[in-house]
Structure 1
Amino acid sequence: MSPGPFLFGAPLALLGLIALPVIWYILRATPPAPQEAALPSLRLLDDVEPEDETPARTPWWILLLRLLAAAAAILGLSNPVYAPGAQVGSEDAGPVLIVIDNGWTSTPRWGELQSAASSALDGASRDTAGHLLLTAPRTLNADPADRLTRTDLSARIGSLDPVSWGTDREDALERLEASGIQPARILWASDGLGSEDARAFADALGAIAPLSIYAAAPRGPFAITGLSSAADGAAVTVRRTDTSNSAQTYVSALTLDGAALATAEADFAAGEAEAIARFDVPAAALARVERFAITGVQGAGSVWLWDSADRSRRVGLVSGDSTAQPLLSDMHYVRQALEPFAHITDGSIEELIAADPDAIIMTDIGQLAPELEERMAEWVEGGGALIRFAGPRLAAQSDSLVPTPLRRSSRAIGGALTWEDPQSIGSYPETSPFAGLSSPADIKIRQQVLARPDPELASRTWARLQDGSPLVTGASRGQGTLVLFHVTAGPDWSDLPYSGTFVEMLRRAIAAGRGETMQDEEGTYTPEVTVNGYGRLVSPGPNASPIAAADLADAVPSESHPPGLYRGPGGTRAINTAAAGVPALVTNWPTSATLLGDAEAQTIRLGGLLLGLTGLLIAIDLLVALALAGRFPSLRRGAHAAVLIAGVATLAPLAQPPAHAQFEDISPNPYSYAISPGYRGTEIEQNGEIDKAMEALLEMRLAYIETGDSKVDAVTRAGLRGLSLILFRRTSVEPAEPHTVDPETDELDVYPMIVLALPDNAAPLSSRAVERLNAYLRNGGALFIDTRRGGNVASNNSFADLDRVLPGLDTPPLQPVSQDHVMTRSFYLIDGFAGRYQDRQLWIESSAGAADASARRGDGVSGLIIGDADYLAAWAIDESGRPLLSVDGGDREREMARRFGVNLMMYVLTGNYKEDQVHIPALLERLGEGEDGGEPAPTGIERQIPPRLPGSEDQEDMPDIREMLRRQQEGTPE
């Protein structure tokens, strides 16, 4: 039954509406009048007016309420459905065919496509059959001829997931024709893309039966179609279909396990379908990136896997040429050849080994010191590629880091081991990484370092001259590779540096050093990890099969070759879903087809809502009946007051803030202080608004991020005011009143440190806010996070929730701050990092295993500092300068917390200059042990020594401090 857009699954239940008049009559009827009996004594009550009277009839509004409850119950039991797009009538004479686009382009609106397909049988009779046709080809695709009941169809559609490859509508038509079904009508839940083949497909379906189309094209950016990399970063191309308005989206650079290393913004101008997201990140971080993903968008097309062929290589250069004119050095030609595809780092061998690049190139370095040679050998065996170029020094003497033994002299025209004419490049062995390269005849070799005859020389030769002598040799050493060009990197010995062959040789030599080869014509690549329809990395399915290297370039994602990373002789190669482009938006649907909008394609089941309304009306009727019957308790005014007072007394303790946020009123004590004049700073207005950036530029201020929790934000502001005042009174740092900042809009670089105190169940920051914090950290800023959870003494750290609160924050590996860290002596000499809670650990960026020093601040200061001791609470003061909150350990612990705050700011502002020992003599002199033994003159270092606390005996610790400083100066362990 279908009156208009409303459908009824149990229409016979509507017969109950006929009974509404009878229900109305029964409800309106009153009990019979009571029988009267004469009782003379009742005449005494004739003049008494009754306080409560029973109405002769039920009030009309109660009748209406009960009738509405009955009608809602009857309608709810009829299982009504609101389906504005349902088709009923003569079209119900046969089965219904539901066609669903389940390719990767349908993922962004997959739930809406499922809902539209599930509603296809709404409006049809109970015995109407459904048939399902999926347009993405699969080995186990359901046969369209399978007859499905309403329940089976809904369950089958709910179990479907989109695939990570595209649709093949021609194949779907062939399967439909082979099934032989003749549907009465067809509903196509389309992804709205594929202009030409979609129109042809719609025409073919319309020729079979009346066609309705629900097109759910992606609304926003949904696919990454390209990636270009350079030495200084990467650029990702993002695609969308709706170009009517300007828009922006974010792309994240992720490791293989999903950790976000960086985020970039892609801005779409109105009318533009593509935008570029540019990543400018350090080379060490870029080397860890395995994939890029559009933030907040599901789908295989929103992920781009970065294989080893496209990755920018990190190469370290060490030159043995000490010429002051770099354009005349051999390394100049190597640099020019590498710049298009590699990130280049210059430095000493020690520095480059520590940086662990993909390859280290040395030009004319003949012999290394024994210890350095051993370290280089360990680096190569660990997987490094050492590429060396010959020269006079290498010809005179060489070490063990060469692929083959060498003669002690070079071969040149006119020399002892001469040839009459310059030689050209001859051949490349089939097993060589250089196989397939051209051998230009105009490249002439005039001098070379010869290899000693050796049984393995032929297998180690990568390139030969025309006379058969080796030009390039290579050999494996552990997991790494040694490569030697038997000529110089400059034009002194050959014309090779002038040619494009030189560039390709270097590129392949670096790849081969990491166990890869750039020759893809032979071999097979096996799927290592694949991408499912939702854009998640999964293990390869049973139907994923290897692919020949020669077919990789033209590979189209399919069930047998799904998108993912494939490993083979050339390292890893990626098949990306949207690499072939994005189908065009369909704008020319057939006029004979009925297009369904979002509202028409959706159905709303009203049965539950109506039955819920019935229960609500019955509950209201019950409350009204009890009120009219006088069943609610009636309390006198005095009883009301007593209950109110008792309730307030009971709930008062519960209304107090938790233990970590209880404010206390502490009377003045030796640790209290008043607000210093000039501390407040000056306000600067521009266009009627406070210009915080200008204020922070003119007067140093600390800043904090508001969390939305008023109590936590109040404590944070009070804590920063207390820390600023401590700095103002005790040091030469004179900060003004702290600022609150919005990381999405405010200038962050003007603040030396930004504080974030996390409340319980903190809301996550937006992607833009996190990205601007990442930029702030990369530019040298410091972010101090106080999780305030130090009250949980069982935990070692309390920052496991940071990934949720700060999604995408470029968080480095963390390590606890050691007792000998520079932060323990940057101003005061302290042995811990006190806060409101005692014995809590402080965490900073880990310095161990850093691949690239540029990823850390230039002065070695950690940009991220995390603690959980509720430091802000220990620093917090009120307007009068009095402490606001209690501290474990009392006033002395509060003083140590203040000293830690001063040390923290000195660490952030001045860096790690206290790491050296040059200040120890001045400290000893300040302690009264100068050379003349007299009173030392005041120096700029005088504030390094903690002041004597009132009522304490801190000066008794001075001998211990002097002894510690002497041990540090003499290098004696404490």
Structure 2
Amino acid sequence: MTALGPFLLGAPWALAALVALPVIWWVLRATPPAPKDIELPSLALLDGVEPREETPARTPWWVWLIRTLAVAAAIIGLAQPVYAPGARMETAEGTGSLLIVVDNGWASAPRWPELINAASATLDTGNRDAPVHLLLTAPQQFNPDPAERVSRADMDKRLSSLRPQAWAPDRQDALKRLKDSGFNPDRIFWASDGLESDGGQAFATELANMAPLTVFAGPPPGAAVISGIQAQTDSVSVTARRASPRGEATGFVSALTLDGSALATAPLTFADGETEAVADFRIPAAALARIARFNVTGQQGAGTVWLWDSSDRSRRVGLVDAGSASQPLLSDMHYIRKALEPFATISEGSIENLVAASPDAIIMSDIGQILPHDAELLHKWVEDGGALIRFAGPRLAAQGDDLLPVALRRSSRALGGALAWDEPQAMAPFPEASPFAGLNVPPEVRIRQQVLARPGPELASKTWARLADGSPLVTADQRGKGTLILFHTTAGPDWADLAYSGTFSQMLRRSIAAGRGEAVNDAEGSYSPLLTLDGYGRLSPAGPNAAPLKATDFGTVKPSEAHPPGLYQGPAGTRALNAGAGERPVLIVNWPVSARLLGDAEARSLRLAGPLLGFAALLLALDLFIALSVSGRLPRFGRKAASAGILLAAGFLVLSAPQQADAQAFQYELMPDGSYRRVTTEGRTIRLPNTPGTSQKEVNAALDMRLAYVETPDRALNERTRAGLFGLSNVLRLRTSVEPAEPDGINLETDSLELYPLIYFNIPDSMPPLSEAAITNLNTYLRSGGALVIDTRAGGTIGTETDVSRLETLLEGLDAPPLQPVGENHVLTRSFYLLDDFPGRYAHRRLWIEQAGDASAPRGDGVSRLFIGDADWASAWAVDDRGRDLYSVDGGEQQREMSRRFGVNLVMYVLTGNYKDDQVHLPALLERLGEGEDENAPGSPTNIIDGGPQ
């Protein structure tokens, strides 16, 4: 390299060509542009005249100026000039080997491009043939050997490919690697982060003692690191530090979700002379639970990111919902979810999936039957430290299990029940030994119904909350390392008003904390890397070099390549390892006297060869264009060309007109919320996307409402059931607005049951018990709002009682609620027709449905999802393809008609719920009944159809 002031020339001899510029200028000046050829009609008079040679005019000055500048730019560009303000003239010291030292820790990330640019600029100084060596201070498994000799071109590529690491540099380790390599450089350039971390000043002194040292220090501007946070219930304080205390500085800290969505931003203000500032977030607790990380806005780097793990952020709770997903606002889980959202991370799923995720607590609402496989998983999970919180309800009152803290009586106590209260009970003050001690007891809360614990000597010690009469309201018991907790009433308002009070949320929170435990002892747990930060502060999946961490190592281990900062998954959820935890960045102020410090301007370099050669090429292209234009070689656009262009544009518009018309074939539809939706007026067929594993049968069931029946080993019975549902579908299409498609036969183990609003299960005479998979699917179906009709077809026997002895074995494990016969005023008797009986092939049989608990406060939406009878309704409904009845009915056609009316009522009840239970309809119905008595003949039927007479 040859220095010429702040410029360095890689090929200085190329500038010798500049002496030819005067000759080039003289030649270009004397050579005019080529003349234009123009034919004029008057030139025919000059035919035969001898031509005379004339001297052309001189080239215009702006033409030869363009050409001279192009040649000069090309010559200077070939000299490979570099603008380097920090370059020195070559000396004896500058001709030897060069060692480039780069701080590539997290503190270098904010000014990483400047550090790399400074290191690349020093390659342009000294002898081009001198060897270059590289030393990185952040420890890595495959750090380059400082003794490795690299050419300047390869070193430039290597520097460009470097990236900052997410951990701090270890300068002592770098110095040891340099000494162990035995390499003695002739000069050293250090691209430093400018911080006194890990002995920065001592490291600079050691380098200066080895060889002449040049340093470019680029400390991070503004907030350098987030060093810690303090969290409260509805607020978080983020502490950030900077390196330089001079002057005032203002920044911002953003609160982000795990996917990067910003929830809030708080200002961060550093006072003059202060290196620490605090950003305060005051946001609702529900939004606070969603925050996963904090980041200094506009400042890249792992040090300016703070990951908030689940142990500090919120508790992890899994919900096993036993309510109706079709009307979630009426389910118990709605109240549990609303109470948990301010302080917990909620996940929902099956028991198997939730146990595998190992949350802090699992909550179940009114589940009376737990499948053996799930019960085994829960037993192990609780014994390993899990907290199982359960709420009572009619199912749990009817059938309990051993995953309860106390033994229960097989009935519930309610107003007017067998174990009756005179009035609803209030809550008593919480015992001092209870986790609820100190909470305010809401005086307005009343308990109307509960499940009772069997008396025992240990009952008092297991009671966390009582009613005013002393009966337990909340009980708990230790099982292994975990805890079983039972609320003896429902989570919703069916049995009590507790869900409406603020105390409910606090009781849940303390229940989770008191019974939390962890899957294993945290001191013995191991956490595997889940997501890690790179040097720029970006989250990504953990790499192959990331190793697990023991729980006891958090808080003591420093981030490294083996343990990069990030989120680690373990038995207690996620734990965070942050690069800036506890860091206090300090500037290096005492540099070695012999070291040369470069400022920002001196450390920069700009290679000018490319821009100069590009400028020369641009000028030559401009000159060529001028020459072609003057010589008449460029096309001229006359009238014909303009006409052709206009025709071409018109043709384009004509061709695009149908597409535009199609695009405008829309109209607007008024939506219920007052907004408008654009809809197309052209009939189109939209193909549904093909989902892998979806059968055509499932697609058809999703597109058209269908009734379904369970396929049994008895093929003849299956055909009878299909014919019965086919006949009922025909009646529905003729008499109501419900238009079912043909019924489907389903397999309880493999088919998607949720696609069907009603499933008819005709029990054959001999059928093996249902498998565990079938019972699981049925339980899920019933909890999600499906309706199951079970027909034992045993109505031909004497008596009106339904024989369910076969069902106990066949449906073992089905989470069935307590049942009751349909009452006279039940909505099922008037959902479409007015009925007083539910006959099928056999008349005067009882129909059993889900017990509502209390007539004044029906459970959920009051709609039963389980129907059990023995009247053989399918036989009474069955018709062939031509609509002819297939089977006889005991009571003749009148009974068959009443059976069909019951089928209509049943489907309307399942689809529409209990809207007819509203007393608003009662006056109109009584008025119509009165008119019917006056106007109809004595022999005419008096049954009334909703919407008109039969």
Distance 1:643 1:925, change over 3 A: farther
- Give the equivalent residue in structure 1 for 2:478: 473
Does 2:108 align with 1:112?
A: no
- Give the equivalent residue in structure 2 for 1:201: 203
Aligned to 1:224, the other structure's residue is in SS state strand
More moved, 545-554 vs 57-66: 545-554
1:71 alignment partner AA:
A
Does 2:506 align with 1:517?
A: no
**Per-residue displacement from partner, 1:918-961 (whole Å, max 9, x unpaired)?**
7999899999x988999xxxxxxxxxxxxxxxxxxxxxxxxxxx
Maintained 8 Å contact 1:253/1:293: no
- Give the equivalent residue in structure 1 for 2:650: 649
Maintained 8 Å contact 1:212/1:596: yes
Q: Name stretches of at least 5 consecutive residues in structure 2 with no aligned partner.
A: 33-42, 320-338, 391-395, 410-432, 434-454, 460-475, 487-506, 691-701, 706-736, 740-779, 782-911, 933-943
Maintained 8 Å contact 1:263/1:279: no
CA distance in 2 between counterparts of 1:30 and 1:473 reads 105
Distance 1:624 1:646, change over 3 A: same
User: After superposition, where does 1:634-713 map in structure 2 within 5 Å?
Assistant: 634=636, 638-639=639-640, 642-643=643-644, 645-646=646-647, 648-650=649-651, 652-653=653-654, 659=660
- Give the equivalent residue in structure 1 for 2:27: 26
**Per-residue displacement from partner, 1:176-208 (whole Å, max 9, x unpaired)?**
344444434322212233378333333433344
Distance 1:789 1:3, change over 3 A: farther
Select the residue among 203, 217, 220 that pairs with 1:218.
220
User: After superposition, where does 1:314-463 map in structure 2 within 5 Å?
Assistant: 358-359=360-361, 370=368, 380=378, 385-386=386-387, 400-402=402-404, 449-450=457-458
User: After superposition, where does 1:715-864 map in structure 2 within 5 Å?
Assistant: 793=686
Does 2:75 align with 1:77?
A: no
- Give the equivalent residue in structure 1 for 2:250: 246
**Per-residue displacement from partner, 1:520-568 (whole Å, max 9, x unpaired)?**
2x45555455433233445655654454544433111123333234455
**Alpha-carbon deviation of 1:293?**
4.8
**Alpha-carbon deviation of 1:627?**
2.5
2:66 alignment partner AA:
L
**Alpha-carbon deviation of 1:650?**
4.4
**Alpha-carbon deviation of 1:127?**
0.9
Maintained 8 Å contact 2:70/2:620: yes
Maintained 8 Å contact 1:227/1:235: yes
Maintained 8 Å contact 1:511/1:517: no
Maintained 8 Å contact 1:316/1:359: yes
Q: Name stretches of at least 5 consecutive residues in structure 1 with no aligned partner.
A: 32-41, 318-337, 408-424, 426-446, 452-470, 486-501, 665-714, 736-752, 756-783, 798-816, 821-828, 832-847, 850-913, 935-961
Maintained 8 Å contact 2:485/2:511: no
CA distance in 2 between counterparts of 1:65 and 1:570 reads 74
- Give the equivalent residue in structure 1 for 2:582: 580
Select the residue among 276, 280, 290 that pairs with 2:279.
276
- Give the equivalent residue in structure 2 for 1:162: 164
Maintained 8 Å contact 2:255/2:293: no
**Alpha-carbon deviation of 1:265?**
0.5
User: After superposition, where does 1:514-553 map in structure 2 within 5 Å?
Assistant: 514-518=518-522, 520=523, 522=524, 524-537=526-539, 544-553=546-555
2:251 alignment partner AA:
A
**Alpha-carbon deviation of 1:121?**
1.3
CA distance in 2 between counterparts of 1:786 and 1:169 reads 66
- Give the equivalent residue in structure 1 for 2:10: 9
Does 2:915 align with 1:917?
A: yes
Maintained 8 Å contact 1:403/1:475: no
Maintained 8 Å contact 2:166/2:536: yes
**Alpha-carbon deviation of 1:153?**
1.3
Aligned to 1:309, the other structure's residue is in SS state helix
Maintained 8 Å contact 1:223/1:302: yes
- Give the equivalent residue in structure 1 for 2:630: 628
Distance 1:381 1:23, change over 3 A: farther
**Per-residue displacement from partner, 1:324-375 (whole Å, max 9, x unpaired)?**
xxxxxxxxxxxxxx99x96599xxxx9xx99x9843799xx9xx88459999
Distance 1:379 1:43, change over 3 A: closer
Select the residue among 97, 100, 123 that pairs with 2:99.
97
1:917 alignment partner AA:
Y
Aligned to 2:249, the other structure's residue is in SS state coil
Maintained 8 Å contact 2:360/2:572: no
2:110 alignment partner AA:
P
More moved, 130-139 vs 647-656: 647-656
Maintained 8 Å contact 1:116/1:602: yes
With normalisation by structure 2, the TM-score equals 0.51
**Per-residue displacement from partner, 1:259-284 (whole Å, max 9, x unpaired)?**
3465220212353743436374665x
CA distance in 1 between counterparts of 2:679 and 2:87 reads 56
CA distance in 1 between counterparts of 2:613 and 2:485 reads 83
1:278 alignment partner AA:
F
**Per-residue displacement from partner, 1:885-937 (whole Å, max 9, x unpaired)?**
xxxxxxxxxxxxxxxxxxxxxxxxxxxxx99837999899999x988999xxx
1:474 alignment partner AA:
R
CA distance in 2 between counterparts of 1:52 and 1:650 reads 52
Select the residue among 285, 297, 301 that pairs with 2:303.
301
Maintained 8 Å contact 1:265/1:277: no
Does 2:134 align with 1:132?
A: yes
Distance 1:361 1:615, change over 3 A: closer
**Alpha-carbon deviation of 1:569?**
5.7
CA distance in 2 between counterparts of 1:43 and 1:559 reads 91
**Alpha-carbon deviation of 1:615?**
1.6
CA distance in 2 between counterparts of 1:292 and 1:789 reads 50
Maintained 8 Å contact 1:231/1:344: no
Aligned to 1:577, the other structure's residue is in SS state coil
CA distance in 2 between counterparts of 1:343 and 1:177 reads 53
What count of residue pairs does the alignment treat as equivalent?
602
CA distance in 1 between counterparts of 2:27 and 2:555 reads 82
Select the residue among 166, 171, 180 that pairs with 2:173.
171
**Alpha-carbon deviation of 1:632?**
3.5
CA distance in 1 between counterparts of 2:678 and 2:297 reads 24
Maintained 8 Å contact 2:11/2:79: yes
1:201 alignment partner AA:
F
CA distance in 1 between counterparts of 2:664 and 2:738 reads 27
CA distance in 1 between counterparts of 2:173 and 2:87 reads 28
- Give the equivalent residue in structure 2 for 1:88: 89
User: After superposition, where does 1:930-949 map in structure 2 within 5 Å?
Assistant: none
**Alpha-carbon deviation of 1:573?**
3.2
**Alpha-carbon deviation of 1:505?**
11
1:81 alignment partner AA:
V
Maintained 8 Å contact 1:81/1:607: yes
- Give the equivalent residue in structure 1 for 2:564: 562
CA distance in 2 between counterparts of 1:228 and 1:131 reads 45
Maintained 8 Å contact 1:72/1:614: yes
Distance 1:155 1:630, change over 3 A: closer
**Per-residue displacement from partner, 1:384-407 (whole Å, max 9, x unpaired)?**
744689xxxx9xx99622479999
CA distance in 1 between counterparts of 2:218 and 2:738 reads 64
CA distance in 1 between counterparts of 2:403 and 2:226 reads 44
CA distance in 1 between counterparts of 2:634 and 2:738 reads 68
CA distance in 2 between counterparts of 1:286 and 1:205 reads 49
Distance 1:789 1:60, change over 3 A: farther
1:581 alignment partner AA:
E
**Per-residue displacement from partner, 1:801-839 (whole Å, max 9, x unpaired)?**
xxxxxxxxxxxxxxxx9999xxxxxxxx999xxxxxxxx
CA distance in 1 between counterparts of 2:680 and 2:208 reads 62
- Give the equivalent residue in structure 2 for 1:142: 144
CA distance in 2 between counterparts of 1:178 and 1:150 reads 24
Aligned to 2:602, the other structure's residue is in SS state helix
2:133 alignment partner AA:
H
- From the CA coordinates, give the structure whose radius of gyration is larger: 2
Maintained 8 Å contact 2:106/2:303: yes
- Give the equivalent residue in structure 1 for 2:784: none
Maintained 8 Å contact 1:97/1:133: yes
Does 2:62 align with 1:57?
A: no
